[in-house]
Amino acid sequence: MSELRLMKGNEAIAEAAIRCGADGYFGYPITPQSEVMETLMALKPWETTGMVVLQAESEVAAINMLYGGAGCGKRVMTSSSSPGISLMQEGISYLAGAELPCLVVNVVRGGPGLGTIQPSQSDYFQSVKGGGHGDYKLIVLAPSSVQEMADFVELAFDLAFKYRNPAMILADGMIGQMMEKVELKPQKKRWTNEEIEKMHPWATTGKKNSRERNIITSVELDSEKHEQANIRIQKKYKELQEKEVRYEAIDTEDAEYLLVAYGSSARISLAAKELLRKKGHKVGLLRPITLFPFPTKQIRELAEGLKGILSVEMSAGQMVEDVRLAVEGKIKVEHFGRMGGVVPTPEEVADALEQKLIGGQ
Amino acid sequence: MAEVINDIKRSENLVYAKTKVLTDNVMHYCPGCSHGVVHKVLAEVIDEMGIQEVTLGVAPVGCAVLIYNYIDIDWQEAAHGRAPALATAMKRLRPDRYVFTYQGDGDLAAIGTAETIHACNRGENIVIIFINNGIYGMTGGQMAPTTLEGMKTATCPYGREPSHDGNPLKITELLAQLPGTAYVTRQSVHTAAAVRKTKKAIRKAFEKQKENKGTSVVEIVSTCNSGWKLTPVEANKWMEENMFPFYPLGDMKDE
């Protein structure tokens, strides 16, 4: 049965994980996302669905536990916040290299360094451009509501397994901490070991006499073969770019100006759009839901009828680079953002658009 | 001559054969290296216990990175030092499988110290096979956490000086102190008798896992004659004279 609840974004992640039939969670406490593991530990899913929940000794250990679990064909996940995600980058690179599916939730806080525990979006580059070593990408989903925090858990697992690639939910401290109404889906069954063997013949499930041994690895010392492995991975990213772009477009039909924003910034930008419309400006909003693959084509097409775009992010300006790449210099693209955990108001965003694009009326 | 050999090669005359769990791939290890012997006895234990189809191995970073080419089971290749973290999740998610790691001294006792200690402290029901040759073999003979005082390596070319380089780490003694470990032993493979003992120890470690006893650690003091710049025979002698006094052989814990 579906169920309506009022809950925090972080709690919704935990509830949704159990309900979609996840097999394991491995994590390490860090603000502002500790409620994910706290909720799981309180719910004790190992007594109901059989889901394993373990507090690891570090983020480094946690991400490598994901590698071990994913290698067995299990649906495993972790959650952390910016400094913890930095620690996981080595492991994420290995997961991508070994083509292992898993879910990493990043409830972003302000950096650099220990930074602040307040919300930020300054991990965009780290999330969509790789983050660890080597040529790889993550499938990155950006929720802008507690409902999407819940819904994207299963979506992330589905995409991760479809493409055998790690997926990330890139949230921020605001989405993680705020409470909203959520519709939780009914409980699904976890995959059985027999189902895993059939669905994921690559997984290390125990070498049957009837097959060759399975090896989960990212090492290939022959450079020609290793290039082929890289080409195979790049093909997946191309396919993702073609098939899996998700976005929301609001009031873009008649728009002369466009706000591009994801996550919390999209919520604020939606209110800013209303303010600007009331003042008579034709403003629309494009909210990327997938940050990789990025809605490059959609923004390019929209740009044809626009006078300018404002990219709104709680960062010094990271996604704005991808927006600029999308419009190929045809129109003006500006950035507005606050840093260090400061959340902008809709008025600030509206003012920024007027000043930077319309001309400061 | 061939006829004579074929006549001798009859099954009733067979006293020894390579286990089928060991593949026919030619090993990349240097002549005299201990890895090959340890691989063999490990494969024999898996064969004799009849657990080839239900055993998952975790390979390290180091000379044994390609162990999956030699032992015919399902494998996962870990990042440097992280094998016990992988094994933790693998065993918890597949408690019906035997799970073991195979790690060198740099992997287990330097970069992976946290993962090793915490897996052992949680009493993860896994086997850890630990090759201690006091040197980083694959990267070309640099100082390891277990390099002896005075021992020369590429990164302590005048000999390990504790006041500058720190002390050799007896990690296995440390692991034996943890409540999560069930069986902790130190063996070697430099003589036929030692090989038999090591095989028995590995077998016992897997039996402990079968009985859900917790973590078993089998350290094998090993030679790296290329890294030590000695012949295989000299390396065995050097190990007996220098390694064994600091890393004494025998069981440390058996519960």
Write out chain A's pLDDT in tens, 361 residues: 789 999 999 999 999 999 999 999 999 999 999 999 999 999 999 999 999 999 999 999 999 999 999 999 999 999 999 999 999 999 999 999 999 999 999 999 999 999 999 999 999 999 999 899 999 999 999 999 999 999 999 999 999 999 999 999 999 999 999 999 999 999 999 999 999 999 999 999 999 999 999 999 999 999 999 999 999 999 999 999 999 999 999 999 999 999 999 999 999 999 999 999 999 999 999 999 999 999 999 999 999 999 999 999 999 999 999 999 999 999 999 999 999 999 999 999 999 999 999 985 4
Confidence of residue B221 (pLDDT cuts 50, 70, 90): very high
Determine, for residues A91 and B82 on separate chains, whether the beta-carbon distance falls below 8 Å.
yes
Q: What is the pLDDT of residue A361?
A: 43
- Measured between beta carbons, the chain A residues lying within 8 angstroms of B87 are 68
Confidence of residue B15 (pLDDT cuts 50, 70, 90): confident
Establish if A158 belongs to a structural domain: yes
- Indicate if A189 and A252 belong to the same structural domain: no
- Indicate if A148 and A257 belong to the same structural domain: no
B142-196: pLDDT as tens digits: 999 999 999 999 999 999 999 999 999 999 999 999 999 999 999 999 999 999 9
Q: Report the distance separating Cα A353 and Cα A269, nearest Å.
A: 10
Residue in B with minimal Cα distance to A93: B79
- Indicate if A47 and A187 belong to the same structural domain: yes
> For a pLDDT cut of 70, what percent of chain B falls above it?
100
Establish if A349 belongs to a structural domain: yes
Question: Token match 């998700």: residue?
Answer: A246
Confidence of residue B8 (pLDDT cuts 50, 70, 90): confident
For the domain spanning B21-254, the CATH number is 3.40.50.970
Does the pLDDT at position B7 exceed 90? no
Distances (CA, A) of A79 to A35, A68, B9, B195: 10, 16, 60, 45
- Indicate if A175 and A285 belong to the same structural domain: no
Question: Token match 């919390």: residue?
Answer: A264
Residue in B with minimal Cα distance to A57: B118
Segment B68-94 mean pLDDT: 98
> In the listed set A158, A176, A193, which residue is the last one of a domain according to the structure?
A193
Determine, for residues B72 and A204 on separate chains, whether the beta-carbon distance falls below 8 Å.
no
- Indicate if A182 and A327 belong to the same structural domain: no
Q: What is the pLDDT of residue A197?
A: 97
Q: What is the pLDDT of residue B26?
A: 95
- Measured between beta carbons, the chain A residues lying within 8 angstroms of B64 are none
- Higher-scoring residue by pLDDT: B2, B19: B19
- Indicate if A123 and A261 belong to the same structural domain: no
Establish if A222 belongs to a structural domain: no
- Indicate if A133 and A253 belong to the same structural domain: no
Establish if A60 belongs to a structural domain: yes
A309 Cβ partners below 8 Å, 6+ apart?
A257, A258, A259, A260, A299, A303, A323, A327, A331, A332, A333, A334, A357
Establish if A139 belongs to a structural domain: yes
- Predicted ipTM of the assembly: 0.96
Three-class SS of A49-86: CCCEEEECCCHHHHHHHHHHHHHCCCCEEEEECHHHHH
Secondary-structure breakdown of chain B: helix, strand, coil percentages, each rounded to the nearest 5: 45, 20, 35
- Indicate if A154 and A294 belong to the same structural domain: no
Establish if A229 belongs to a structural domain: no
- Indicate if A121 and A252 belong to the same structural domain: no
- Indicate if A169 and A297 belong to the same structural domain: no
φ, ψ (nearest 5 deg) of residue B191: -135, 165
Determine, for residues A215 and B75 on separate chains, whether the beta-carbon distance falls below 8 Å.
yes
Residue spans of alpha helices (H) in chain B: 2-8, 35-48, 83-93, 105-106, 113-122, 162-165, 171-176, 192-210, 225-228, 232-238, 244-246
Structurally, chain A folds into a number of domains equal to 2
Establish if A107 belongs to a structural domain: yes
CA distance to partner chain B, nearest, from residue A251 (Å):
47
Residue in A with minimal Cα distance to B88: A65
CA distance to partner chain B, nearest, from residue A66 (Å):
7
Distance of CA B124 to the CA centre of its chain: 18
Average pLDDT, chain B: 96
Q: What is the CATH number of the domain that holds A255?
A: 3.40.50.920
Residue in A with minimal Cα distance to B87: A68
User: A319: buried, middle or exposed (CB in 10 Å: 19+, 13-18, 0-12)?
Assistant: buried
> In the listed set A163, A193, A223, which residue is the last one of a domain according to the structure?
A193
User: Of B65, B75, B115, which has the smallest distance from its Cβ to A204's Cβ?
Assistant: B75
User: Of A65, A98, A204, which has the smallest distance from its Cβ to B74's Cβ?
Assistant: A204
Interface contacts (A, B; CB < 8 Å): 124
A325 touches B: beta carbon within 8 Å: no
Question: Which structural domain, as residue segments, surrounds residue A262?
Answer: 248-358
- Indicate if A185 and A79 belong to the same structural domain: yes
- Measured between beta carbons, the chain B residues lying within 8 angstroms of A66 are 89
- Indicate if A184 and A303 belong to the same structural domain: no
B23-59: pLDDT as tens digits: 999 999 999 999 999 999 999 999 999 999 999 999 9
Establish if A123 belongs to a structural domain: yes
Q: What is the pLDDT of residue A326?
A: 98
